[in-house]
Amino acid sequence: MSEPHHVVVIGGGFAGLETVHRLAGADVRITIVDRRNHHLFQPLLYQVATASLATSEIAWPIRHLFRRRSDVTTLLAEMIGIDTTLREVALSTGETLRYDTLVVATGATHAYFGHDDWEPYAPGLKTLEDATTVRRRILLAFEQAEAETDAARRAALLTFVVIGAGPTGVELAGTIAELARATLPEDFRRIDTRATRVVLVEAGPRILPGFAEDLSRYAHEALQRIGVEVRTGAPVTACTSAGVSIGPEELPAATVIWAAGVRASPAGSWLDAPVDRAGRVQVEADLTVPGRPNVFAIGDTASVMDQDGKPVPGIAPAAKQQGRHVAATIKRRLAGDKAPRPFAYSHAGSLATIGKRAAIIDFGRVKLKGWLAWWLWGLAHIYFLIGVRNRVTVALSWLWIHARDQRSARLITQRDLRQPDLKNADQGEPARPASAPP
């Protein structure tokens, strides 16, 4: 009796898990490989970073998700190489997996556009570790400001800079402003957290460039109403332990968050495949790697074009659609249908929230903004969460924040040795690590 067709899926994000989910019932055995043991709902990662949600509310163990699927094996490991001739994947554990079909969905990380030295001072937001690091830095800044006697250093501690005004940057800036102005004022005695300065920096001419111009303008005005300073048309030119430079202006700031761009994993070099400027694999119309019909690249790993020749956005619904396409292709091949079929992307709309009572939604012909868009944004995100318990707890957390302006995840749980120390910053060189409570 022959072995079932072996599908190896590298990456437990939206694209990879959707592929596995849609292969249920097929005559295959599946191995999922991920360097973390959990699937992460990235659209709400910023809410962990801003103390609105706990980590357990937006992440789920991959093994648990497929505990009733005997055809699925989950491995905690990192892929270190691919041999497409032998059809083998080398893992960090020393194991080698042989595949019949390989699905590479290894995602993306932060891109600093040639300024990787900025990363210690401006962490990005892609993983749970990133989110807890950002949350720790935000909360520590308020704690250090409470103990600071020098007015200039206290002002810098109460200045937060978000670089990049896509959806993540806008959502971060809006939530930090609300945290400072609505949640924290009664918690401190020596500082007025309402004096916090939140600066959103965008090198382009407007924020949220992927949205219609009228929605972008509404978001800009809504951010200003809740106290966010929006800087457009001027890129950050320097980032150090002392703060940032926006053109010729130096802005002292203890907390800087990077939301300006991403680059793909090194899948292109693993596969010896063509890549775009962001390192994404330039796939064929059916999402296979050029010259390798048994290898698919999907999600943030791949550069995918829609039916009109426009880039498919790197968002969760697009990744899930690609996973469904790959699973359907594998099933057709097992049934003897080898004809390639192009991936057809269906855009379900773009969403972004600006605060707890304002959001924008762009469905194409239909555009919404304000409180109705905020409720629809919330319902859409709750719908895509995994499990009834998580949907209920997230919904209750949001209702509590909406009604009482209280966020329950304001815990400093780890020591951050890279926390900027403005007292010891010197000409942009790395500062001595600040003291932080455990």
Alpha helices by DSSP H, listed for 66-199, are: 128-147, 151-157, 167-178
pLDDT of residue 85: 95
Cβ atoms within 10 Å of 333's Cβ, excluding its own: 17
Amino acid at 187: D
Residue 311 gets which letter from DSSP? Answer: B
What band does 429 get if pLDDT is binned at 50, 70 and 90?
very low
* % residues pLDDT > 90 (the chain): 80
pLDDT of residue 416: 52
Number of helical (H) and strand (E) elements in the chain, helices listed first: 11, 25
* Torsion angle in degrees (nearest 10) through CA of 321, 326, 330, 336: 80
pLDDT of residue 431: 36
Tell whether the model's pLDDT for residue 228 goes beyond 90: yes
Distances (CA, A) of 401 to 167, 356, 384, 412: 20, 8, 20, 19
Tell whether the model's pLDDT for residue 424 goes beyond 90: no
> What residues are paired with 3 via a beta bridge?
none
- Reported residue count of the chain is 438
Q: Which helix (H) or strand (E) holds 148?
A: none
Block residue for tokens 């937001």: 125
Least confident of 2-6, 41-45, 255-259, 323-327: 2-6
* List of residues 6+ apart from 335 with CB closer than 8 A: none
Nearest CA to 299 out of 310, 101, 283 is that of: 283
Least confident of 210-214, 293-297, 361-365: 361-365
What band does 1 get if pLDDT is binned at 50, 70 and 90?
low
pLDDT of residue 311: 93
What band does 407 get if pLDDT is binned at 50, 70 and 90?
confident
Instruction: Show the CA angle centred on residue 242, arms to residues 236 and 245, nearest 5°.
Output: 20
Q: In the CATH scheme, what is the code of domain 5-35+77-110+262-334?
A: 3.50.50.60
Tell whether the model's pLDDT for residue 287 goes beyond 50: yes
Nearest CA to 127 out of 269, 30, 11 is that of: 11
Are 420 and 121 in contact by the 8 Å Cβ rule? The answer is yes
For residues 89-94, give the mean pLDDT: 97
Q: Which CATH number fits domain 116-260+350-404: 3.90.550.10, 3.50.50.100, 3.40.640.10, 3.30.830.10?
A: 3.50.50.100
What band does 428 get if pLDDT is binned at 50, 70 and 90?
very low
The pLDDT mean for the chain works out to 91
Active site residues: 171
CATH fold match for the domains 5-35+77-110+262-334 and 116-260+350-404: yes
All structural domains of the chain with their residue ranges: 5-35+77-110+262-334, 116-260+350-404
Tell whether the model's pLDDT for residue 9 goes beyond 50: yes
Cβ atoms within 10 Å of 308's Cβ, excluding its own: 6
Q: Describe the strand order of the beta sheet including 236-240 as a list of residue ranges.
A: 236-240, 243-246, 249-252
**DSSP helix/strand/coil, 222:** helix
What band does 433 get if pLDDT is binned at 50, 70 and 90?
very low
> What residues are paired with 240 via a beta bridge?
243
Name the burial class of residue 438, with classes exposed (0-12), middle (13-18) and buried (19+) by CB atoms within 10 angstroms of its CB: exposed
* Torsion angle in degrees (nearest 10) through CA of 46, 49, 53, 56: 100
CA-based Rg of the chain, rounded to a whole angstrom? 23
What predicted TM-score, i.e. pTM, was given to this entire model?
0.90
Residue 55 gets which letter from DSSP? Answer: G
For residues 154-178, give the mean pLDDT: 97
* List of residues 6+ apart from 229 with CB closer than 8 A: 197, 198, 199, 200
What band does 432 get if pLDDT is binned at 50, 70 and 90?
very low
